[in-house]
Amino acid sequence: MEEDFAEIAHIFKAQKSLVRVPECDENLKMAVLASWQDHCLVDLLHRWQEGELPAQIGAVISNHSRGPNTHVVRFLERHGIPYHYLPTTKSDKREGEIVELVKDTDFLVLARYMQVLSSTFLRSYGKDIINIHHGLLPSFKGANPYRQAYQAGVKLIGATSHFVTEELDDGPIIEQMVDRVSHRDTLTTFAMKSENLEKQCLAKAIKYYCEKRIVRYSGNKTIVFG
């Protein structure tokens, strides 16, 4: 079988497999970056604990402090997952330290990490990074997409998981989810509905990636196999 696949790979100039065999392939290793909001991080951790995400978690890194008795820190300690608190400033994003901490991972997940990663960081890490954007891209890029959507009077609010590129919020889209809103909704209910979408949308993107269901093509597009 190995010889047959090697011959096929040679014919099509294939460099890597797009198929994951659960019984044979090791789980990919990821690190998670998060800021002060916990909803995506907590959801991700619990899905991982329940075996829904075929990945290893190498570390959780945050630019916001979490006390020793918080739910997240207790969870990580119970499962032996390192937690690194790296406070950032406008002039120092601690990117060199982050690169060192994640150098042995296969990919990164930004679970509402509210820092823009520099092109230097992206080149230094050199592997895939998955982000969850709390808006329905390509609309409402950048900061405060809840407020942007609310002020625009939209009837659908959404969340987008995508690969990170040097262009802010413009990487290849992996998954999008939407929910209906109306004139009865407030900015607060917009945010609540969006946060629920964000958790689901990010989890799906991680699962698709770990199961090698995603093919990138034509620069900024993806095919996601069901």
CA distance 125 to 123: 6
Domain range for 52: 25-224
Count of domains for the chain: 1
Asked if the structure places residue 7 within a domain, the reply is no
CA distance 197 to 131: 14
What is the model's pLDDT at position 64?
Answer: 95
- CA R_g for the chain: 19
The three-state secondary structure class of 2 is helix
Report the pLDDT averaged over residues 93-98: 97
Report the pLDDT averaged over residues 94-115: 97
Say if residues 97 and 86 touch (Cβ distance below 8 Å): yes
E strand or H helix that includes residue 179: strand 173-180
pTM: 0.89
pLDDT surpasses 80 at 36? yes
- The first and second tokens of residue 212, run together, are 């090698």
pLDDT surpasses 70 at 16? no
Asked if the structure places residue 216 within a domain, the reply is yes
Report the pLDDT averaged over residues 120-125: 98
Question: Which one of 104, 169, 170, 185 is the catalytic residue?
Answer: 169
Asked if the structure places residue 153 within a domain, the reply is yes
Q: What is the pLDDT of residues 38-82, one digit of tens each?
A: 999 999 999 999 999 999 999 999 999 999 899 999 999 999 999
Asked if the structure places residue 2 within a domain, the reply is no
CA distance 220 to 162: 10
pLDDT surpasses 80 at 113? yes
pLDDT surpasses 80 at 86? yes
What is the model's pLDDT at position 32?
Answer: 98
What is the model's pLDDT at position 6?
Answer: 82
Partners of 175 in beta bridges: 161
Partners of 35 in beta bridges: none
Active site annotation includes 169: yes
Give the CATH number, domain containing residue 89: 3.40.50.170
Asked if the structure places residue 178 within a domain, the reply is yes
Higher pLDDT, 102 or 140: 102
Asked if the structure places residue 110 within a domain, the reply is yes
Report the pLDDT averaged over residues 96-108: 98
Least confident window among 38-42, 111-115, 143-147, 186-190: 143-147
What is the model's pLDDT at position 17?
Answer: 64
What is the model's pLDDT at position 28?
Answer: 95
What is the model's pLDDT at position 150?
Answer: 85
Length, in residues, of the chain: 226
Tell me which amino acid residue 41 is: L
Tell me which amino acid residue 209 is: Y
Asked if the structure places residue 13 within a domain, the reply is no
Q: What percent of the chain has pLDDT over 90?
A: 72
Which of 44-58, 135-149, 184-198 has maximum average pLDDT? 44-58
Residue 117 neighbours by CB under 8 Å, 6+ apart: 93, 95, 110, 129, 164
What is the model's pLDDT at position 166?
Answer: 94
Report the pLDDT averaged over residues 114-141: 93
Asked if the structure places residue 17 within a domain, the reply is no
Which ranges of the chain would DSSP assign to H, the alpha helix?
2-12, 39-49, 71-79, 95-102, 119-125, 145-152, 187-210
Of 146, 159, 69, the closest CA to residue 111 belongs to 159
